[in-house]
Amino acid sequence: MSLETPPPRLNLVGASRGQIAAVLADIDPRPYRVEQVYHWVTRRLVASIDDMSDLSKPLRAALAERATVVDPEVVELAHGADGTLKLALSHTDGSVVEAVVMPMEGHVTVCLSVQTGCAVGCVFCVTGALGPGRNLTGAEIFGQYRAILRSTGLAGQPLNLVFMGMGEPLLNLEGLERALELLGDTVSPRRITVSTSGIVPGLRRLAALPRRPNLAVSLNATTQAQRSRLMPGAARWTLEELLQALHAYPLERGRRITVEYVLVAGFNDALEDARRLPGLLRGLPVKVNLIPLNPDTQFLPGLQAPDEERINAFAATLAASHMNVTVRWSKGQEVGAACGQLRGRLLRTAK
C-alpha cells in the first residue's frame, strides 16, 4: 500500500479568484465565499486563515487543510532620524529584498522592490553594483506590501506606492502586472508609480494596460555616450528610441511623466547638460526630479554628488527654460534607505 503525498497548499496571497474557487469547490462553492476569502487577503490583509472571522470554524479548518497565508518575513527594521523606515524582507528561498516607508506631507510613500538584484548595472546604484538576482512573483510583491502595512501599522492610512526599490520593474513584467492587479483592488492607479530605467519594450507593454499607473523614467543623461556610461543595461535602447516610446505613452488628462535625473559630479551635472535637457523633453508633459547621488564608499567608490551650488544652478537653468523641476533630497540616508542605496543581501548566506 502506497501513501500519496498530499498536494501543496495554495498560498492565498496572490491567488486569483479562480484558484480560490477551485480550493473551495467541494467545501463551500458559493461565489460570495470566494469573494470573502479574496477580500480578507487583499483588503483586510489577514495573517492567517483563522483570522477570517466571518467564516465558520469548520470552514476555516477545511480551508486551512488546502490553503495557507504566507508573506515575506520582516527580518530587519531600521529607523531613520527623519522618520524613514527601511525593512528587510526574507522569502522562503532565503533571498532578501529591502523596502522603504517614507512619511510625507499628508500621506506615506511605500517603496517596493520587484527583484532580488538588478541587471541594468547603473553605476550610481548599489543594487546594480551587486548584480542581478531573481524576479519576484506577483504574490511575493503583493506579500511585501501586506507585510509592510501589517508590521508598520499603516493599514488604512493614505498611501502612495512607488516601484523604485530593488530591481527594474519592466524586466519583471509578469510579476509587476500581477502585483498591479492585486493592488488595484485597494489602491488607485493614480497613487501608484512605476519607475523604469527606460526598457522600451516594457514601456510599450505597460502602455497597453487597461489601468495604468503613473510613470517615472530614470533618464540621467542628455547624450547617448553619457547614458551608455552611466546605465549600460538600459542604453541598448537609444535616447531617440526611449523618447519615441515616451511620446507614444498614453496619458490621461492631468497626468505627467516624471523624469528622474540622478546628478553625479563630473558625469552629467554640467550646465551644458541642463541646457540640453529641455530640448530632449520638448513636447512631453513632464516634471523633472533632480536627485543628488547618494554615495556609498564600498560599492560606488569615487562617485559623489555635486555640491549644493552646482545642483541649484542646474535646477535654475531648467527652470529658466520653463521646466517643472524639483530637487529631491533623499530621505533615510543614514540607514541606507535612500535612492540607489538598497542592498538586500544581509541574509543571502544565512539559509
Taking only the tens place, the pLDDT of each residue in 216-269 is: 999 999 999 999 999 999 999 999 999 999 999 999 999 999 999 999 999 999
Q: Decide: pTM greater than 0.85.
A: yes
**Confidence check: pLDDT of 344 > 70:** no
Task: For residue 336, give every residue at least 6 positions away whose Cβ sits within 8 Å of its Cβ, in sequence order, or none.
Answer: 78, 86, 126, 296, 342, 343
Same domain, 317 and 196: yes
Total number of domains in the chain: 2
Same domain, 78 and 64: no
- 186 and 293: one domain? yes
Known active-site residue 118: no
pLDDT bucket at 153, cuts 50 / 70 / 90: confident
CA–CA separation, 314 and 298 (whole Å): 28
Same domain flag for 140 and 201: yes
C-beta atoms surrounding 116 within 10 Å: 24
Contact (Cβ atoms closer than 8 angstroms) between residue 49 and residue 68: yes
Residues 174 and 320 in one domain: yes
Task: Tell me the β-bridge partners of 85.
Answer: 79, 101
Catalytic residue among 111, 118, 122, 339: 339
> Which amino acid, residue 1?
M
* CATH number reported for the structural domain that contains residue 253 in this entry: 3.20.20.70
Whole-number Å distance between alpha carbons of 25 and 27 = 6
Residues, the chain, total? 351
Q: Give 351's pLDDT tier (boundaries 50, 70, 90).
A: very low
* Residue 345 counted as domain residue: no
One domain for residues 323 and 181: yes
Whether 348 maps to a domain, the answer reads: no
Q: Is the model more confident about 200 or about 106?
A: 200
Distance CA 248, CA 255 (A): 14
* Nine-digit cell string for 154: 499603516
Which of 51, 68, 85 lies at the terminal end of a domain, its last residue?
Answer: 68
Among 98, 140, 168, 260, the one annotated catalytic:
98
Average pLDDT over every residue of 328-349: 53
Strand partners, 86: 78, 100
Known catalytic residue at 122: no
Report residue 131's pLDDT band, with 50, 70 and 90 as the boundaries: confident
**Domain C-terminal end among 45, 68, 91:** 68
Domain residue limits at 207: 73-335
| In a shared domain, residues 173 and 151 | yes
CA atoms of 64 and 59, how far apart (whole Å): 8
Q: Are residues 160 and 215 in the same domain?
A: yes
Q: Give the chain's radius of gyration (CA, Å).
A: 22
98 within 8 A of 110, measured Cβ to Cβ = no
Judgement on whether residues 81 and 150 belong to the same structural domain of the protein:
yes
Reply yes or no on whether the pLDDT at 6 is more than 90. Answer: no
Q: Same domain, yes or no, for 314 and 258?
A: yes
Q: What's 53's domain CATH number?
A: 1.10.150.530
Alpha carbon 1 to its chain's center:
50
For residues 36 and 142, membership in a common domain is answered with no
